[in-house]
Amino acid sequence: MPVYNADGSSNDAGPVCHTVDLSIHVDGHSKVATFAVTNTGKSPVIVGYNWLCQHNPSVDWCMGKVTFNQCPASCQPNIPHPETDFV
Ligand SMILES: [Zn+2]
Q: What is the pLDDT of residues 57-74, one digit of tens each?
A: 999 999 999 888 888 887
pLDDT of residue 30: 77
Check: CB of residue 46 under 8 Å from CB of residue 36.
no
Question: How much is the pTM?
Answer: 0.62
- Does some domain include residue 46? yes
How many angstroms separate the CA atoms of 40 and 23, rounded? 19
The per-residue pLDDT for range 40-53, each reduced to its tens digit, is 888 888 888 888 89
Residue 9 lies in a domain: no
pLDDT at 14 over 70: yes
- Structural domain count, the chain: 1
In a domain, 30, yes or no: yes
Residues lining ion ligand 1 (Cβ < 5 A) are 55, 71, 75
- The answer to whether position 42 is within a domain reads yes
Helix, strand or coil, per DSSP, at residue 52: helix
Residue 67 covered by a domain: yes
Under 8 Å CB-to-CB from 71, ≥6 apart: which residues? 29, 55, 56, 57, 81
For residue 86, is pLDDT > 60? no
Ligand 1 centroid – CA 54 distance (Å): 7
User: Does residue 25 register a pLDDT over 70?
Assistant: yes
Q: Is 8 left (phi over 0), alpha (psi -120 to 50) or beta?
A: left
The whole-number average pLDDT for the span 11-38 is: 86
